[in-house]
Structure 1
Amino acid sequence: MSAQASFDEDYVLDETRQWRGVYSKRINASDEDVVRTLGHIKRTGISAELYRWMEEDRIAAGKQAGPKPAMDFAAVLALYLTLACAGQAMTTRNAANLARYGLSDHTRRRLGIELDEKATADAVYDRIDRAFHRLLAVVDPEPGPRRQKMSREARQNHLASLDEDAVRMRRERLHQICNALIVQSYKDLPREVRRRWKGNAVVDGTVVPVHSRGHSKTSQWISTEYEAGWYQRKGDHFLDDDAPTQQLKNKGIFGYDAAIVSMATNDPSRVTTFPQLAVGMSFDKPAVEPGQNAIIALEQMNRAGLPARLIIGDRAYGNSPLAENFQIPARELGYQLLFDMKVDDLGKPYDEGHFIVLEGNLYSPALRGKENLIKATVHYRVDKSIDYDTWQKRLEQRAKYMLQPHEAATREGGGQQMRCPAAGPNPTVACPLRPRDIEAETGKHLALLPIMPKNVPAEHTRGKLCTNAGGTSIIRGPVYDRQAMDPRIQFGTPEWYTWYSTTRNTIESVNASAKNGAGAALAIADRRRIRGYAANYIFTALLLVATNMHKTEVFMAKNIQVDSRGRGPEKKNTPRLRDVTWGKELPKPWNAPPKKRRQRERGPDWSPPTRGESAI
């Protein structure tokens, strides 16, 4: 016997929900949620900065002071951040719904929102909208009409009317407040957790789609999102000049490129003892200036006092044509570089006389003429004429010619003090220019690689590495600035691969967490129905803050064991299921096609299983 549901025939909709109209969606937040988000905004100090900038702009424009705003900058940002943390769409309607119906009177007073009983959600909507656009007026570098499309000619006239100094100043303000929001996630970590991070970071660009529709370059109109551009996951990941063809336009994404910098592990062989949060970002058109955009984020991190040690990036940041855009500024900020090499730069030595730059590492000129060692990576990754073990043996032999870092940190200006491999207490080669009795000097019996006299640098090419008594010299120059990586990690070795792959997985994980549709949903443009470079920049920063908050909560719940040196336990090499099933495979070259999967051996009587039967 089953019970039949009964319904009250005279049921009446609750009075508080009878006249809400478009605000009928239920959005609530607890006092704790708002305390957390409002506290995060206030601790950054950006609200006071925004008011100071607004006052400076008012005085410069010669305007009279107006009435006190009905809603504070911190309050409106806290409302949007609360929506982001709750996984709700960051729309003004949702913010008004939350402020009018989803908060207690006590929480509204904490936000500085005073409402009487007759205040409608539409009135709250107007307050939030005016407050946010008042904020944008202070930091938007390219203000302009957003409610209707412009012709290309009108767009050029609009750009010509802008003051370059004002554009530059507001762009700097925008970078400052957005990065202050993100860095505060790191500063809010417990002190003992925060100090475990030594400064390693990884950078990558990710596309942020916009709600507005893009146009092709043949159209006489441009999008209302006129600062955005077309992005395509192919080659260098961007489409030139607003989708040149309809075919590419259909495959592309119209939006912005967010260069995100994330905290990276101190040791890839151990469990990380801190949450790997996003700590910096910049915003631009897709793949316009990846190196310069990364430097903007690193400079903001440096201004906030974050440590700097190693910066890892993909080929978009490594050995770029202009070292002034990324490599030199990164070294001046105290970073060592680690990146993958482009195929064109493999096996290509740059001879500077007293040292050689090869695949990002610095070598002794005694390496000249040893083609098997110089071309080892080319023979493995390009020609495929040698196997993995042979490649690693040649790299190990080549490592004996590497210059040794005399100082861990870079010098002011980006230079690095290096030492000849035949000098110092632990030489790896025996050079005729430095005759030594190592066993008598150090008491060590070292098997040194002899350098033939024909490979010794000519007298007119010898630099300070060869002539200084200590065999040290500060290395600088165009080739070093563009090509050199961290001298402690040799390119192509398991150590390099572990560092590169682990940190690259870290930044991809940060991007995936921010774009997760069940969370921040950065990849869903409908969740950010707002136009403009500045507005999308701020919303992206808030979504990264919400992602950081979630990552921090997850990490603190893990209770990872930490030793006296702040290190986590060593990682366990858990075998992959396919390795268990098919056998372990050797490392493969990065650009080689995947090998065909080996088929299981089948008996002569084997036949494909029918439905419901096991395939074993």
Structure 2
Amino acid sequence: MARPARDETAARALRPRIRPGKITKIEDSKVGQLLTLLDHSGVPQQLEAMLQGRPGPAGVRPRTVLAGLLLAACFTGKATVAEAWRILHFRLEPRARTWLGIPHEPPATARESIAASRRLYRGFDRITTLLDPARCNRRSRLPLDIADAYADAWKVPSGKQAAERLQHLANQLVLSPVRLAQQRGYLRGWRGDVGVDATAIPVLADPDRERAGTASVEITAGWHHSAGADEGTFGYSASFVVAAHRRPAGEGTGKPLAYPQLCVGLVLDTPTVRTGRNAVTALTQLAELGLPAGTCAADRAYTGCAPENFQIPVRRLGYRLALDYKTENRGKQGSWRGALLVDGSLACPHMPTALAQAAQGAKDETVRIPSEELQQAVEERVPYFLKTKQSPDARGAIRLQCPAAGPSPSVNCARRDGLRPRKPRSPKPPPTVVNLADNRSRAAHPAARPTVQLPADEWLTLPPAEELPAVCGKSDITVPANAYGDRLVAKFRQDDHYLTAAWTASYKPIRSHNEGIHGRLKSGEIDIGNPKHRPAPGQVAQTLLVAILVTAGNLDILETWLYQRTGTHLTATDYTAAPTPRGPHTVRTESTGRPPPLPD
């Protein structure tokens, strides 16, 4: 029986609207490529395995829901269920509809459109309900005490485990284009340098209303304060890990080969919560791909983390650290086995006080554009820093030695010569004639090296080796990643000397790559900073939608890079190269959906 006309009119007002004149068909080849990439990420298979046995109607499969959202992100720049519905039911060819289980004919009436859209919404709702440790009403404000109870559910062990599973699944989506680029050899020129930074992800919901006693719809959101910004942004923080490279610091270092500067890690969380751990989560998942580990540059938000949450695990993953410091943390920072910790580097215990305190209390403006006096002091204190005797091992421990030791000492020290006098050569070599026109010959002469000023009573009587600091009495010292509980050394130590040319060549270019990926993903068609492009509420929904948008952004970066380098595009063979990942959260089960065949 035909429904009354007024009911049909009401249905048309409720359903997602179709924009006349903009229903263009999407080629089967592009749908097949994106669906193959999605299948190789392993996320649809894991979601369908976890949904087995749950009550309620099955609805639309997770594979179809995620494919619709990814298609919407690639072709419209929005990760909304409404755009996914329009694409799945009105813009696909019959062959692609078969791959996704979509009816061959689009909805003919308004009520059929409503039914199709609601099935898709239910399919997305099943995914978010599955991954949410404390599902609640996301459409109305809750009282503050009730909302706090739901928010606390994320902090208990079961909630942390659910959050880790969510972050792992989202990062698998982001890494799928990275795995594709790795398999095709496009990352051969990348040396493993990464930049870690957090950016604000605003939401449509308003913050809590203290006077009314009601919480925000986004119960786990908070205020993200960017560096230098007076006002915060209400929403979430997204920790990005971006592929970057250092700038050549000297002659002969070589220019890095070209590679696509992709986002190689993403974790979305409440602002100021688990800042360091979220970066480690992304770096750990990146390490599973077997890519090289270079320098990891991070701003002061990560320097301020507890060392067991960021610095120690990052070193154990094989990364070198390039850090910046707050004003109150510059200068002398601590000591280890008698060696001074000066601006993140261990130095001779008798480094001149003026050099050790050259950056003491320096403002940020002074550090960004150092004065000539500061630059000169930074260069003059380099010879006093300990020298690397052995690079970090698998546990992140490094061996350092006195700057006056070894075949190429950088300072003269009477204490070192008294404890371990250098054996004269036999027969005695003739006096060396120094070529004053040769910079290298002049620098190698002992007279050109600074001399360590020892205490006055030590020039006549040298104390026993056991009474001296370990850095002086032993041939070398070992500095483990955790520094045996010395939090200052574990927290502030870095591998390049602060404010030197080597540090500048590492820190500043990598940090600029972070800002570049933020600008690229927060502008243009794909704008993750626009909450209208991902309106679904809740941390689970926001995490998945941001991950889908970043995945689409990574594909755009890879396509653009390949076209600029070779004038070609990614083909179906490229998309079938990446294998399905296997990780700690991977559910090993038979695939519930066959990937589409290669387009003809």
Q: TM-score, normalised by structure 1?
A: 0.76
1:149 deviates by 1.1
Which residue number corresponds to residue 405 of structure 2?
A: 423
Which residue number corresponds to residue 267 of structure 2?
A: 282
Secondary structure of the structure 1 residue equivalent to 2:346: strand
1:411 deviates by 4.6
The answer for unaligned runs of 5 or more in structure 1 is 1-16, 238-247, 561-616
1:529 deviates by 1.4
Instruction: Map 1:61-460 to 2 at 5 A.
Output: 69-116=58-105, 120-158=112-150, 164-189=156-181, 190-233=183-226, 251-268=231-248, 270=255, 273-318=258-303, 320=304, 322-367=306-351, 370-378=352-360, 388-412=371-395, 414-435=396-417, 436-437=421-422, 440=425, 445-447=444-446, 448-454=449-455
1:478 deviates by 2.5
Contact 1:354 1:463 (8 Å CA) reproduced: yes
Contact 1:201 1:261 (8 Å CA) reproduced: yes
1:41 aligns with 2:7: no
1:531 aligns with 2:534: no
Contact 1:377 1:492 (8 Å CA) reproduced: no
Task: Output the CA distance in 2 between the equivalents of 1:533 and 1:394.
Answer: 49
Task: Output the CA distance in 2 between the equivalents of 1:87 and 1:527.
Answer: 9
Per mean C-alpha deviation after superposition, the further-off stretch among 141-150 and 436-445 is 436-445
Which residue number corresponds to residue 593 of structure 1?
A: none
1:493 aligns with 2:482: no
Letter in 2 for 1:524: N
Letter in 1 for 2:526: A
Task: Output the CA distance in 1 between the equivalents of 2:59 and 2:311.
Answer: 47
Which residue number corresponds to residue 583 of structure 1?
A: none
Work out the percentage of aligned pairs sharing the same amino acid: 26
Letter in 2 for 1:82: L
> Structure 1, residues 249-274: CA drift from partner, whole Å, max 9, x if none?
xx442211101111111545635511
The answer for unaligned runs of 5 or more in structure 2 is 1-11, 250-254, 433-440, 567-600
Say if 1:234 and 1:556 are closer, same or farther in 2 by CA, change over 3 A. Answer: closer
Task: Output the CA distance in 2 between the equivalents of 1:161 and 1:553.
Answer: 41
Say if 1:219 and 1:307 are closer, same or farther in 2 by CA, change over 3 A. Answer: farther
Secondary structure of the structure 2 residue equivalent to 1:299: helix
> Structure 1, residues 440-490: CA drift from partner, whole Å, max 9, x if none?
49999543432233288975663543333x43433523232011011xx21
Which residue number corresponds to residue 572 of structure 2?
A: none
Task: Output the CA distance in 2 between the equivalents of 1:205 and 1:118.
Answer: 43
Task: Output the CA distance in 2 between the equivalents of 1:334 and 1:230.
Answer: 33
Contact 1:96 1:121 (8 Å CA) reproduced: no
Contact 1:429 1:451 (8 Å CA) reproduced: yes
Which residue number corresponds to residue 513 of structure 1?
A: 520
Contact 2:238 2:268 (8 Å CA) reproduced: yes
Which residue number corresponds to residue 606 of structure 1?
A: none
Secondary structure of the structure 1 residue equivalent to 2:377: helix
Secondary structure of the structure 2 residue equivalent to 1:127: helix
Per mean C-alpha deviation after superposition, the further-off stretch among 329-338 and 471-480 is 471-480
Contact 1:402 1:421 (8 Å CA) reproduced: yes
1:202 deviates by 0.4
1:31 aligns with 2:31: no
Which residue number corresponds to residue 595 of structure 1?
A: none
Per mean C-alpha deviation after superposition, the further-off stretch among 458-467 and 100-109 is 458-467
Contact 2:339 2:347 (8 Å CA) reproduced: yes
509, 534, 555: which is aligned to 1:549?
Answer: 555
1:352 deviates by 3.3
Which residue number corresponds to residue 602 of structure 1?
A: none
1:160 deviates by 6.9
Contact 1:313 1:340 (8 Å CA) reproduced: yes
Contact 1:96 1:125 (8 Å CA) reproduced: yes
Task: Output the CA distance in 2 between the equivalents of 1:371 and 1:446.
Answer: 25
Say if 1:156 and 1:86 are closer, same or farther in 2 by CA, change over 3 A. Answer: same
Task: Output the CA distance in 2 between the equivalents of 1:36 and 1:219.
Answer: 50
The number of aligned residues is: 515
Per mean C-alpha deviation after superposition, the further-off stretch among 170-179 and 436-445 is 436-445
Secondary structure of the structure 2 residue equivalent to 1:406: strand
Which residue number corresponds to residue 49 of structure 2?
A: 52
Could you say which structure has the greater relative contact order, defined with CA pairs below 8 angstroms and 6 or more residues apart?
2
Secondary structure of the structure 1 residue equivalent to 2:338: coil
Secondary structure of the structure 2 residue equivalent to 1:213: coil
1:401 deviates by 0.9
1:234 deviates by 5.6
Task: Output the CA distance in 2 between the equivalents of 1:44 and 1:156.
Answer: 34
Letter in 2 for 1:207: A
Contact 1:198 1:309 (8 Å CA) reproduced: yes
Task: Output the CA distance in 2 between the equivalents of 1:21 and 1:543.
Answer: 21
Say if 1:382 and 1:32 are closer, same or farther in 2 by CA, change over 3 A. Answer: closer
Contact 1:209 1:523 (8 Å CA) reproduced: yes
Contact 2:335 2:489 (8 Å CA) reproduced: no
Say if 1:352 and 1:128 are closer, same or farther in 2 by CA, change over 3 A. Answer: same
Task: Output the CA distance in 2 between the equivalents of 1:159 and 1:233.
Answer: 23
Which residue number corresponds to residue 510 of structure 2?
A: 503
Say if 1:132 and 1:439 are closer, same or farther in 2 by CA, change over 3 A. Answer: farther
Contact 1:380 1:388 (8 Å CA) reproduced: no
Secondary structure of the structure 2 residue equivalent to 1:257: strand
Task: Output the CA distance in 1 between the equivalents of 2:326 and 2:340.
Answer: 18
Secondary structure of the structure 1 residue equivalent to 2:176: helix
Task: Output the CA distance in 2 between the equivalents of 1:72 and 1:384.
Answer: 57
1:540 aligns with 2:546: yes
Secondary structure of the structure 2 residue equivalent to 1:307: coil
Say if 1:219 and 1:290 are closer, same or farther in 2 by CA, change over 3 A. Answer: farther
Contact 1:360 1:483 (8 Å CA) reproduced: yes
1:115 deviates by 4.3
Contact 1:311 1:335 (8 Å CA) reproduced: yes
Secondary structure of the structure 1 residue equivalent to 2:416: coil
Letter in 1 for 2:377: R
525, 528, 532: which is aligned to 1:522?
Answer: 528
> Structure 1, residues 121-172: CA drift from partner, whole Å, max 9, x if none?
3232122212212222222233211121101122245457789443223212
Task: Output the CA distance in 1 between the equivalents of 2:364 and 2:557.
Answer: 40
> Structure 1, residues 77-117: CA drift from partner, whole Å, max 9, x if none?
12111111123432211111111111111111122323456
> Structure 1, residues 396-434: CA drift from partner, whole Å, max 9, x if none?
22110111122333451x432212212223221232343
1:357 deviates by 0.6
Letter in 1 for 2:51: M
1:358 deviates by 0.6
Which residue number corresponds to residue 571 of structure 2?
A: none
> Structure 1, residues 203-249: CA drift from partner, whole Å, max 9, x if none?
111111112222344440111111111234465x6xxxxxxxxxx8x
Task: Output the CA distance in 2 between the equivalents of 1:534 and 1:555.
Answer: 31
Task: Output the CA distance in 2 between the equivalents of 1:506 and 1:382.
Answer: 20
Which residue number corresponds to residue 599 of structure 1?
A: none
1:380 deviates by 6.9
Give me the CA root mean square deviation: 3.2
Secondary structure of the structure 2 residue equivalent to 1:194: coil
Task: Output the CA distance in 1 between the equivalents of 2:364 and 2:166.
Answer: 45
Q: TM-score, normalised by structure 2?
A: 0.78
